[in-house]
C-alpha cells in the first residue's frame, strides 16, 4: 500500500484519477487550490488507484492522505 499525500494545505479543486486507474510516478493526480493558486499534487510512486480519500471541495492539511495505491 502506498499513499499520495497533500503537499500543502488547501481545498481540493479536482480529482484527476479514479479507482482502478493506473498512475505513473510524476503524474498529476489531484489539483489543490491554495492562496488563490492551483497547485497540482503528483504521484510520488507508480501504482493502481485503490481508493480516493478526498472529495472535491474538501479542505486538506499538509501531509493528509489523498490517494491510496496498490501495486
Where on the chain is the footprint of other proteins (CB under 8 A)? 8-11, 33-37, 39, 62
Residue whose CB is less far from other proteins, 58 or 70: 58
Query: Are the beta carbons of 31 and 41 closer than 8 angstroms?
Result: yes
Least distance between other proteins and beta carbon 69 (Å): 24
Min. distance of Cβ 1 from other proteins in angstroms?
A: 28
User: In angstroms, what is the minimal distance from the CB of 12 to other proteins?
Assistant: 12
Q: Quick one: residue 69, left, alpha or beta (phi over 0 = left, psi -120 to 50 = alpha)?
A: beta
28: left (phi over 0), alpha (psi -120 to 50) or beta: beta
Amino acid at each position: 500500500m502506498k499513499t499520495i499525500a497533500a503537499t500543502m494545505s488547501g481545498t481540493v479543486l479536482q480529482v484527476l484519477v479514479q479507482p482502478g486507474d493506473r498512475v505513473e510516478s510524476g503524474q498529476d493526480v489531484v489539483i489543490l487550490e491554495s492562496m488563490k493558486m492551483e497547485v497540482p499534487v503528483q504521484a510520488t510512486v507508480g501504482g493502481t488507484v485503490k481508493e480516493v480519500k478526498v472529495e472535491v471541495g474538501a479542505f486538506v492539511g499538509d501531509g493528509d492522505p489523498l490517494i491510496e495505491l496498490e501495486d
